[in-house]
Structure 1
Amino acid sequence: MRYDPLSTATAVLTRVGGRANVTSVAHCMTRLRLGLADPAGADLEALRAVPGVLGLVDGGDGTLQIVLGPGVVTEVTAAVRTLLTRPSPEESTGPPTKAPPERPAGRGAGPDEEELRRRGATPVRTALRRIANVFLPLIPALIGCGILAGLNGLLLNAAWLPGLTPALTVVASAFMALIAVFVGYNTAKEFGGTPVLGGAVAAVVVYPGVAKVTAFGTHLVPGQGGVLGALAAALLATRVERWCRGRVPGALDVLLTPTVTVLVTGLATLYGLMYAAGVVASAIGAAANWLLATTGAAAGLVLGGLFLPLVMLGLHQALIPIHTTLIEQQGYTVLLPLLSMAGAGQVGAALAVYVRLRHDVPLRTTIRSALPAGLLGVGEPLIYGVSLPLGRPFLTACVGGAAGGAFVGFFAMLGTEVGATAIGPSGWALFPLLAGNRGPGMAAAVYGGGLLTGYAVGFAATFLFGFPRHGRPPTTRQGKRSRADARRTAM
């Protein structure tokens, strides 16, 4: 049957409690993220049974992440937004739903502390999710500009098309030069302020005229503090704006509130936030370089081994500000290639499952369909469709990721850095974005070696230890044990 995003969107909305229960809609590369007024109103078991749904993740504070896979998630998200703006006959036959509660005036976009405790969300997890929401909409531009920057670098090194490379430099670099403005805009939008005011105060960070301003005895540098400074400025602007809204008479609000917000926050950004954010950003870069130069193999082992659980919990997006800061400072992030090794371990584990469970036709079909995405660095289909339901293969996949990360980290100890000029892709899709201190060729060789190591160790660990020592491997053929039995045995 031909895939229909509208049917999938209708089924999803019906099973999360209807349109009235949805407070927000967003998506990343693989997940539809729905904010729910009443999380208990969602039928999770029925939602898992919707064709195309690969898994569910509780994002905290009422956010439900529905794993759909690359490409599909974009179409389904658009269909969900369409359904939210017009009646749906299919949805009207579903169970009655409650309207989302009104937010208390002056409290912004988030739930109060009592709601957080009731929903089991920790303040730290909520903060990480909301900061990730600031950066998620920027990923497509980061990917596109990063690929163009890599292509432009190849043309420059080969001295090809000298008339085109200046134009490519502008196209690839313009977004990164102004990324602070977009971060400020999204921050204010996420935290309940006026988005354009967040963008206005964040623009102070990148404005060339800041070079004439002296703070803490030194001249400021345009871009000092980068996205961290923009994030802090927009958060402060949101607080100042809320303070003004509650005290300025209505007749003067349209004039005084934006003026006071931009003035107070702009001065605070110039004479405090830019300097402080610059110190933090420099510390992040120095820490990453020190970690890889001194404990590269061990750091790679830990990062590569633990990244799959972070992906499973949806917490991997919290690393986006760190990646972005490193790209701003050094031109590439040295952490992403290490973390990408987790996907290699997952691919190796899936291949071992495919070989061992040769009689499990449905599972082997799932692996064949999900493997191309896994090779390109999209691991959720294999995580939720293969390794996690079986239990042990998920752990052995982490072992493969740890081995691949240790391989890349070992070369970092020898002085060969491998970085990515943009975030988003991993697996084989990361090759066009690779860079390093010894050229893209060496970076590609080390990264490729890490992938092969992750594949091999993930396969071997799963083949040898991913299944019960006694008895035949579980299958789903009639008369044999079901996959649920296999999961219980493997665990």
Structure 2
Amino acid sequence: MSDITRIAEQVTAALGGRSNINGIENCMTRLRITVASQDSVDVPALKRIEGVLGVVEDQTMQVILGPGLVDEVADEMGRITETMVTMEGDEQAATAAGGLTAAELASRGEQIKTQRKQANQTPLRNFLRRIANIFLPLIPALIACGIIAGLNGVLTNLTVKGITPWATGITPALGAIASGFMSLIAVFVGMNAAKEFGGTPVLGGAVAAIIPFAGVAKVTVMGQALAPGQGGVIGALFAAVLAAFIERWVRKWAPRSLSMLLVPTLTVLLAGLVTLFVFMTLAGWISTGIGSLANGLLQTGGPLAGLVLGGLFLPLVMFGLHQALIPIHTTLIEQAGYTILLPVLAMAGAGQVGATVAVYMRAKRNASLRNTIKSALPAGLLGVGEPLIYGVTLPLGRPFITACVGGACGGAFVALFDMLGSTVGSTAIGPSGWAMFPLVNGSKGIGTAALIYGGGLLVAYVTGWLATYFFGFSKEGLEALNAPEVDEQRADLIGEELAPRA
């Protein structure tokens, strides 16, 4: 039996068997599983499975496996349970096994969607989910283009200095590969946004494509000529959402015999006119404001701004609110080539790594917790923080707060250099921790940015460790954590007792 099959079968069994599983969703690091009865789920057994980095108990069970492994386990669980597997951010991208008919798959898919809508339906969560569904599918391309842009930057600098003359013909090609996607990112945002709001993706993309088109320079609004790309992804988002609403409106009254002509034509025409004469100007103001606010915040607020941003990011991740920052990061990357906010926010994960090391050292006789840390720490070093949040620091209460202290100090360190004129940014969103090194860039070049970012990580590691080692536990809590009979359930109870005191 392969490791993938073993994990999938053990997870299925711990979740109450195939009859208790109604839906499986696969995101970048975890499985989100809708179960018929939570009473049938054996959470301690689920946590003990080798390969499982953490478990989040909610209306939808979340099993954290880490990037890569989660995809293979999801596919295998879909085969074992004969359940459709959906990808986060793409409800239609589904796979199934077990000989289910198309009608059965469609019925099962509708059942899963209905259950998801009923669970956790709040306006804020719905809004953030939609924003995430629009931008998350773009992250792999942003990462790839960011890494290629970083490599091209290094080669360009070396070529200018005469160290790598052989790269003279390569750097233009790498530049084209890295920049091609970003030049048309508005189109991809438009397609995803239209789909998310019930429209036809290609119509949303067609309207959003107006924004980067060079010919918009001939259009004048309020006496000012438009600039190609004005409004960026914000304008594309507005345009595609409007297109989706117009499309649905036209479909309601258009005669069936003429709908093929009327629906796409009126959608693109009406949404296109509003995009040109309203959205590009409005979104241009918003995009410029975002860029000015981000730069002004770090250049003026300096360490204090970094302290607040780095210290509050872990709670944002815990509640899923960090997804609201995705369009802001994307806008900054589109404007300057990198987002200066992400390296500061990434310090939160580094503070948690330092805190986790301290927990490992303090919990000398808690084999279960130490095993969890050994499994989750490598992912944490690479910027995948959920296993450490839900498996280590958050259940213990006070170490979660001391981890935030580490993140705050690391954020203050990076923001100090931003205020001094050495900005540090990331050319893509997604990776953090050590995985961000190939993506860093800044006003003083890649080398300086990497040194500052590395210094921030070191500060966050050390302060997170110090705060947790010396202040992360009460005397009673530490004794209980290291009691000979302690197990994971006992550790959870300790965390519940400590959290109010923290």
What is the distance in 1 between the residues matched to 2:438 and 2:192? Answer: 28
Maintained 8 Å contact 1:15/1:47? no
The DSSP-based 3-state class of the residue aligned with 1:435 is strand
1:360 offset after TM fit, Å? 1.2
Alignment counterpart, residue 190 of structure 1, candidates 183, 186, 196? 196
CA distance in 1, matches of 2:18, 2:290: 40
Partner Cα distance (1:318, 1:15) in 2: 35
Conserved in 2, the CA contact under 8 Å of 1:434 and 1:440? yes
Counterpart residue type for residue 367 of structure 1: I
Residue 436 of structure 2 is aligned to residue 430 of structure 1? yes
Whole-angstrom distance in 1 between the partners of 2:78 and 2:248: 29
Partner of 2:209: 203
Change (3 A) 1:480 1:143: closer
Partner of 1:254, secondary structure, is helix
Which 5+ residue runs of structure 2 have no aligned equivalent?
A: 85-94, 101-106
Give 5+ residue unaligned stretches, structure 1: 92-97, 104-108
Q: 1:11 to 1:203 in 2, by over 3 A?
A: farther
Contact map agreement 2:4 2:76 (CA 8 A) in 1:
no
Is 1:67 the counterpart of 2:64? The answer is yes
- C-alpha offsets along residues 323-349 of structure 1, whole Å, 9 cap, x if unaligned? 000000111100000000001110010
SS of the residue 1:419 aligns to? strand
* Stretch of structure 1 that moved more, 235-244 or 411-420: 411-420
Letter in 2 for 1:76: V
What residue in structure 2 maps to residue 94 of structure 1? none
Structure 1 segment 328-407 matched on structure 2, within 5 A = 328-407=334-413
TM-superposition CA deviations, 1:234-280 (whole Å, max 9, x none): 10000000101111111111121011111111111111111111110
The structure-2 alpha-carbon separation of the partners of 1:262 and 1:64, relative to structure 1 and needing over 3 Å to count, comes to farther
Distance 2:222 2:37 in 1: 54
Partner Cα distance (2:372, 2:53) in 1: 13
* TM-aligned CA distance change 1:230 to 1:221, over 3 Å: same
Which residue number in structure 2 is paired with residue 276 of structure 1?
Answer: 282
Q: Kindly indicate whether residue 50 of structure 2 is the aligned counterpart of residue 54 of structure 1.
A: no
Farther-moved stretch of structure 1 (199-208 vs 319-328): 199-208
Q: Does 1:139 align with 2:139?
A: yes
Structure 1 position 364, deviation (Å) = 1.3
How many Å separate the matches in 1 of 2:354 and 2:136? 28
Give the whole-Å Cα distance in 1 for the aligned partners of 2:414 and 2:317.
20
Q: 2:129 maps to what in 1?
A: 129
Structure 2 match to 1:316: 322
> What's the counterpart of residue 158 of structure 2?
158
Write the distance in 1 (CA, Å) between the matches of 2:248 and 2:42. Answer: 41
Change in CA separation of 1:345 and 1:26 when aligned onto 2, cut-off 3 Å: same
Is residue 15–residue 42 contact of structure 1 (8 Å, CA) maintained in 2?
A: no
Relative to structure 1, the CA distance from residue 365 to residue 340 in structure 2 (aligned partners, 3 Å threshold; closer, same or farther) is: same
Number of corresponding residues: 466
Question: Would you say 1:248 and 2:247 are equivalent positions?
Answer: no
8 Å contact kept, 1:467–1:473: no
Render the CA deviation track for 1:342-378: whole Å, top value 9, x for unaligned.
Answer: 0111001011011111111221122122111111111
Q: Which moved more, 1:122-131 or 1:271-280?
A: 122-131
Could you say what the CA RMSD is over the residues aligned between the two structures, in angstroms?
2.9
Question: 2 CA distance for matches of 1:44 and 1:13?
Answer: 7
CA contact (8 A) 1:185 1:198 kept: yes
> What is the distance in 1 between the residues matched to 2:40 and 2:287?
41
**1:10–1:80 Cα contact (<8 Å) kept:** yes
* Closer/same/farther in 2, CA of residues 77 and 270 from structure 1, 3 Å limit: farther
2:494 aligns with: 486
Residues 1:87 and 1:142: Cα distance change in structure 2 (over 3 Å): closer
Q: Distance in 2 between matches of 1:261 and 1:453?
A: 53
SS of aligned partner of 2:56: strand
Alignment of 1:223 onto 2:222? no
- The structural deviation recorded for 1:15 is 6.8
The offset of 1:76, in angstroms, is 3.3
2:104 equivalent in structure 1 = none
> Partner letter of residue 55 of structure 2?
G
Q: Distance in 2 between matches of 1:139 and 1:320?
A: 10
> Residue by residue, what CA displacement relative to the aligned partner does 1:288-309 show, whole Å, maximum 9, x if unpaired?
1111111121111111111111
Q: Relative to 1, partners in 2 of residues 1:289 and 1:275: Cα closer, same or farther, differing over 3 Å?
A: same
Does the Cα contact within 8 Å between 1:57 and 1:313 map onto a contact in 2?
no
Could you tell me whether the CA contact under 8 Å between 2:349 and 2:433 is conserved in 1? yes
Instruction: Note if contact 1:304-1:398 (Cα within 8 Å) is conserved in structure 2.
Output: yes
Q: Residues 19-50 of structure 1, C-alpha deviation per residue, up to 9 Å, x if partnerless? A: 7x44x8452x323456x6xx876669546753
| Percent of aligned positions that are identical | 56
SS at match of 1:55: strand
TM-score normalised according to structure 1 size:
0.87
The 8 Å contact of residues 476 and 483 in structure 1, kept in 2 or not, is answered as no
Q: Deviations over 1:306-327 (max 9, x none)?
A: 1111111222122110000000
CA contact (8 A) 2:216 2:226 kept: yes
Q: Which moved more, 1:437-446 or 1:45-54?
A: 45-54
Equivalent position SS for 1:3: helix
- Give the letter aligned to residue 461 of structure 2: Y
Match of 1:197, SS? Answer: helix
Residue of structure 2 aligned with 1:293, choices 271, 296, 299? 299
C-alpha distance in structure 1 between counterparts of 2:15 and 2:194, whole Å: 28
Tell me the amino acid that sits aligned with residue 123 of structure 1: P
1:198 and 1:30 map into 2 onto residues whose CA distance is 29
Q: 2:471 aligned to 465, 470, 473, which one? A: 465
Flag the 1:366–1:63 CA change in 2: closer, same or farther, 3 A: closer
Corresponding residue number in structure 1 for 2:29: 30
Equivalent pair of 1:197/1:262 in contact (CA under 8 Å): yes
Is the partner of 2:4 in helix, strand or coil?
coil
How far apart in 1 are the matches of 2:44 and 2:283? Answer: 42
Deviation at 1:11, TM superposition (A): 5.5
Quick one: distance in 2 between partners of 1:194 and 1:349?
Answer: 47
Q: Indicate the residue corresponding to 2:148 in structure 1.
A: 148
Q: How far is the alpha carbon of 1:478 from its aligned partner?
A: 4.0
